[in-house]
Amino acid sequence: MNPETAPVNVTIDNRSITAAVGTSILQVARENDIYIPTLCFHESLSPHGGCRMCIVEVEGLRTFPTACTTPIDEGMIIRTHTAQIQEMRTEILQLFLSEHTASCLVCGEKVECREYMSTVRKAGVTTGCRYCPKDGQCELQAVTESLDVNEIIYPIYYRGINVETGDPFYDRDYNLCILCGRCVRMCQEVRLADVLAYKHRGRKTIIGPAFSRTHLDSGCEFCGACVSVCPTGTLREKARAWEGKPEREETTTCSFCGVGCQVKLLVKEDRIIGSLPADDPLVNQGQLCVKGRFCNTELVNGHQRVKNPYRHEGAISWDVSWNEAFALIAEKLQASSPDRVGMLVSPNLCTEDLYIAQKFMRVALASHHVDTTARLFYGAGFNAYLGLMKRAVPLAAIQNASVVLMIGLDTRFSRSVVGVALRTAMKKGIEIVTLNPREHTISLKANLWLQPGIGTEFRYVDMLAQLTRGAEVPADGISQVEREKLEQTARMLSGSSNPVILVGAEYLQYDSSRELLESVAQLADNIGAGIMPLPAQNNLYGSLLAGSYPELLPGMRSTGDDAQRKLLEAVWGTSLSNLIDSWTAASLVACDTPLQFLYAVGEVPPPMSAPADFMVFQNMYPPEPYGSADLVLPSAAATEVDGTFINGERRMQRVRRAVVPLGNALPDWEILCRLGRFMGATGFEFSRPEEIREEIARAVPEFTQENIDARTPMPFVLETDMREFTNDATAHHAAERAQTDSAPPFLFHASVIEHTHRGFPLSAWVDGAKLLFPEGTLTVNVEDAKALQLTEGDVVRVSGASFERTWPVRLASTQPRGTLHASLLETASSHPNPQPVAVRKADV
């Protein structure tokens, strides 16, 4: 046996224990249910030994080592609770308590006070445990009780630090901070973000970003990892501050993007009160982004959620029963021609919902008019993007790569789990190159930062593709510095044994998106790279597999595929049309196929100049202010359903119900099945998601329970081209360009709001998201704003060749000079994109 790994024998508190060599005393004690108090130790962080609460006696040593930093050795005799050790721990704790708002910790009436005085907790400043949101969950409380401390012997010093409440999602009260360093180590060691550090010295020591910057300015990702490890009430979630301890947890899959992180939903009284990262070795490694960590609670508990079906006519709305709603839908459908009926479904839905939605259209209505908004999001590059998805590699490939090329990817708020993986790779010596005109979280740490001008990103990628195959490339219009960086990047990629290319959503709405993505594929072919497309939608692959498109049947086979159609006819017990119809979601934008009936399931339809005669809106929230509907049906949230998602790696992921649906809301599949049965259609007698999965498996052999349980990547079998959303479809957005000679020309570029869920921007229903994901604003460089005499919030009129819009101004030093940017709802982007524009104040 290898002596370096052989077990050793130790004695702890007169108990003989065998453990692996190198294990710390604290780890061995915890594995054997021996309590040693700690304040600075956390399982996810390196041992620190700063709080000194875990000191122990080791026979033969003259000092008292900390259990968290001392490895065991053969024959060690360890004592954890001698009178001397307990006395020393109490003395150390007294020093902590002297600078902590801690009177309640030692009060003789704390038990009665906790039971009968709970209503006074909601105070702006914490002056005692009853006023602290961490009351009952505080580790300092637990240590104080374990040492039976009932008085504070040193003078109490209140630091008088202002409580920081200006940032989204959580507040900071450093009067409660015990300087354990957990948040600093989490930020520096695990997240590798380097935002938090110790500031000042001695009694004035505090934690925060350097140089008195705000957390927003310092690059904080608001991932909440620091909040998760804080042992006191110093860092506290705004939405969870007074909820207390959760009663249970449920592990599920995050529904906010295509990474597919595993998340633990915290439940109390059948209500979601928070979410934490699950320790998932396949995807997120115990980390989350700001959306997965904080947005669930506000999103699913919003007071504006739809709880009952209701009719809407003019300015009047009234509740109806489910049967009344079904009767109305059936009446309108019977009066509509099948070729004038359409269904828009969301790629945020579970695979089971998507499957039932397309089956409802094809079986109950004999129509292929079902589509998702993914076609609008990826625009002219839809097919090229799906081609990249076919070659997707898992997130773990980053750690095994030799060179990573990022194209149009900013991981600060979206996919920050990928950002952690990238920074970890850099720490291991893996070379990172990022291609992005704008400054972002990785740009300052990457080995190379390629900075193309806005609108020239395609040329950079194309040049890399040509250089890596040995072609001569003219350098017209590119500076010598950028040319040298491109050549250096090409050499790095060509000489790499295992390159990986990450594709973000930055340029997917550009007119040149198809050419750019095709160049990415060509570059990958040249260097033998793996591709990680990182879709914005959490179940884009599931929407393809379920056949949620007019061109596709379940299994990603063409609607004209005779073999698949016959298989489905056998499974469904009905005949299907083989007509490949021209209707798509883009038809709603172009209004070239006016509808009599539109059914939006988990989606907000794009703006239409000629709305459908009758629209059903099935979602969590009402359509306002993004549209209107004749009938609104309440959908269950992702936290209230069972099902599956398939992430960007094509990995099968379980969705588990944590709480019951709110009010009379139902899962989307159940609403459609009830409606199908009400209309007399057969094949909708499902009562559980498991039954739907069994039918999907009969229609799609790759979709098996074994794959779901193992979370294995699915094969990509799409063989037909998808119709793409071309720029012509947005012509109806064009407005006559305003004439102005007073403002200099700028280059305007637009992107689709990526931080959405079920068609809504997260900023619509999550307060904290309003600050991080502002919508309907124009981002202007700070220096450009000075030249134009603009300040934050000024309203400006932007005039281009095909549009004229007004937006409030948002200033950002990261926006390249001479350019403007706006994040818009799907289909609201103006083409050409990018395009030159003029800017002037709206009131001038």
Q: Is the pLDDT of residue 731 over 60?
A: no
Range 302-326 burial, b when 16+ CB lie within 10 A, else e: beebbebbbbbeeeeeeebebeebb
Structure confidence at residue 112 (pLDDT): 79
Q: Read off φ and ψ for residue 130, nearest 5 degrees.
A: -70, -20
Instruction: Report whether 646 contacts 704 (CB < 8 A).
Output: no
> What is d(CA 248, CA 262) in angstroms, rounded to the nearest whole number?
16
Q: Is the pLDDT of residue 607 over 80?
A: no
- Percentage of the chain lying above the pLDDT 70 cut: 94
Cα distances from 191 to residues 94, 221, 319, 418, 425, in angstroms, run 32, 10, 48, 10, 12
547 torsion bin: left (phi>0), alpha (psi -120 to 50), beta (else)? left
- Coil, helix or strand for 425? helix
The span from the first CA to the last CA of the chain, in angstroms, equals 83
Q: Is 494 exposed, middle or buried (0-12, 13-18, 19+ CB in 10 A)?
A: middle
> What is d(CA 699, CA 576) in angstroms, rounded to the nearest whole number?
14
Structure confidence at residue 116 (pLDDT): 72
Q: Is the pLDDT of residue 133 over 90?
A: no
> What is d(CA 527, CA 524) in angstroms, rounded to the nearest whole number?
5
Which residue blocks in 156-313 are alpha helix, DSSP H? Answer: 182-185, 225-229, 290, 296-301
Model confidence band, residue 735 (pLDDT cutoffs 50, 70, 90): very low
- Percentage of the chain lying above the pLDDT 90 cut: 71
Model confidence band, residue 356 (pLDDT cutoffs 50, 70, 90): very high
Beta strands in 549-604 (DSSP E): 552-553, 557-558, 597-601
| Length of the chain counted residue by residue | 844
Q: Is the pLDDT of residue 736 over 60?
A: no
Q: Is the pLDDT of residue 734 over 50?
A: no
Structure confidence at residue 2 (pLDDT): 54
> What is d(CA 413, CA 224) in angstroms, rounded to the nearest whole number?
12
Q: Read off φ and ψ for residue 732, nearest 5 degrees.
A: -70, -10
> What is d(CA 422, CA 417) in angstroms, rounded to the nearest whole number?
9
- Diameter of the chain by CA atoms? 91
Amino acid at 49: G
Amino acid at 822: A
Supply 839's token pair.
């800017």
Supply 713's token pair.
């990547």
Angle among Cα 765, 370, 596 to the nearest 5 degrees reads 90
Q: Is 543 exposed, middle or buried (0-12, 13-18, 19+ CB in 10 A)?
A: buried
Q: Is the pLDDT of residue 803 over 50?
A: yes
> What is d(CA 245, CA 141) in angstroms, rounded to the nearest whole number?
14
Structure confidence at residue 509 (pLDDT): 86
Model confidence band, residue 308 (pLDDT cutoffs 50, 70, 90): very high
Amino acid at 449: W
Instruction: Report whether 551 contacts 372 (CB < 8 A).
Output: no
- Coil, helix or strand for 90? helix
Q: Is the pLDDT of residue 278 over 90?
A: yes
CATH code of domain 310-372+539-643+665-699: 3.40.50.740
Instruction: Report whether 376 contacts 831 (CB < 8 A).
Output: no
The reply to whether CATH 3.40.50.10140 applies to domain 8-118 is no
Supply 759's token pair.
């068609």
Instruction: Report whether 68 contacts 47 (CB < 8 A).
Output: yes
Q: Is the pLDDT of residue 680 over 80?
A: yes
> What is d(CA 735, CA 729) in angstroms, rounded to the nearest whole number?
14
Model confidence band, residue 733 (pLDDT cutoffs 50, 70, 90): very low
Strands across the sheet with 448-450, in order? 448-450, 431-435, 403-407, 499-503, 530-532
User: What digits encode the pLDDT tens for the residues 408-447?
Assistant: 999 999 899 999 999 999 999 999 999 999 999 899 899 9
Instruction: Report whether 45 contacts 190 (CB < 8 A).
Output: yes
Q: Is 281 exposed, middle or buried (0-12, 13-18, 19+ CB in 10 A)?
A: exposed
Supply 722's token pair.
């998808």
Strand 778-781 and strand 804-812: the pairing is: parallel
Question: What contacts 163, CB < 8 A, 6 or more positions away?
Answer: 124, 125, 171, 172, 173, 175
User: What digits encode the pLDDT tens for the residues 357-377?
Assistant: 999 999 999 999 999 999 989
User: What digits encode the pLDDT tens for the residues 237-256?
Assistant: 999 988 989 999 999 999 99
Q: How many Å separate Cα 209 from the centre of its chain?
A: 24
Structure confidence at residue 374 (pLDDT): 92
Instruction: Report whether 134 contacts 171 (CB < 8 A).
Output: no
For range 399-411, the mean pLDDT: 95
Supply 464's token pair.
């890399």
Structure confidence at residue 584 (pLDDT): 85
**Crossing angle between the packed helical segments 382-389 and 513-527, to the nearest 10 degrees:** 30
Q: Is 752 exposed, middle or buried (0-12, 13-18, 19+ CB in 10 A)?
A: buried
Instruction: Report whether 734 contacts 803 (CB < 8 A).
Output: yes
Whether the bond between 667 and the residue before it is cis, its omega within 30 degrees of 0, is no
Instruction: Report whether 304 contacts 565 (CB < 8 A).
Output: no
> What is d(CA 691, CA 585) in angstroms, rounded to the nearest whole number?
29
> What is d(CA 524, CA 407) in angstroms, rounded to the nearest whole number?
12
Calculate Rg over the CA atoms of the chain.
29
Cα distances from 267 to residues 243, 639, 657, in angstroms, run 10, 10, 11
Residue 728: half-sphere exposure toward Cβ, Cα within 13 Å: 3
728-841 fold: Barwin-like endoglucanases (2.40.40)
Instruction: Report whether 525 contacts 335 (CB < 8 A).
Output: no
Q: Is the pLDDT of residue 480 over 70?
A: yes
> What is d(CA 725, CA 299) in angstroms, rounded to the nearest whole number?
30
Q: Is the pLDDT of residue 40 over 50?
A: yes
Q: How many Å separate Cα 622 from the centre of its chain?
A: 23
Instruction: Report whether 111 contacts 163 (CB < 8 A).
Output: no
Mean model confidence pLDDT for the chain? 90
Model confidence band, residue 579 (pLDDT cutoffs 50, 70, 90): low
In the chain, % helix, strand, coil (3-state, to 5) comes to 30, 20, 50
Enclosing H/E stretch for 616: strand 614-619
Q: Does residue 210 or residue 53 have the better pLDDT? A: 53
Which residue blocks in 134-248 are alpha helix, DSSP H? Answer: 139-146, 182-185, 225-229
Residue 397: half-sphere exposure toward Cβ, Cα within 13 Å: 20
CATH superfamily of 393-532: Dimethylsulfoxide Reductase, domain 2 (3.40.228.10)
> What is d(CA 47, CA 63) in angstroms, rounded to the nearest whole number?
18
> What is d(CA 735, CA 803) in angstroms, rounded to the nearest whole number?
4
Structure confidence at residue 738 (pLDDT): 33
Domain ranges, ordered by start, for the chain: 8-118, 310-372+539-643+665-699, 393-532, 728-841
Query: Which CB contacts under 8 angstroms, 24+ apart, belong to 58-65?
Result: 58/25, 64/88, 65/25
- Whole-prediction pTM value? 0.93
Cα distances from 833 to residues 17, 678, 723, 749, in angstroms, run 68, 46, 20, 6
Q: Is the pLDDT of residue 744 over 60?
A: no
Instruction: Report whether 798 contacts 839 (CB < 8 A).
Output: yes
User: Which of 30, 64, 71 minimizes the C-alpha distance to 47?
Assistant: 71
> What is d(CA 679, CA 5) in angstroms, rounded to the nearest whole number?
68
Strand 248-253 and strand 262-268: the pairing is: antiparallel
Angle among Cα 642, 363, 330 to the nearest 5 degrees reads 90
Mean pLDDT is lowest, of 248-252, 469-473, 513-517, 608-612, for 608-612
Q: Is the pLDDT of residue 589 over 80?
A: no
Mean pLDDT is lowest, of 102-111, 138-147, 236-245, 418-427, for 102-111
pLDDT winner (highest mean) among 679-693, 712-726, 740-754: 679-693
Question: What contacts 419, CB < 8 A, 6 or more positions away?
Answer: 221, 411, 412, 441, 442
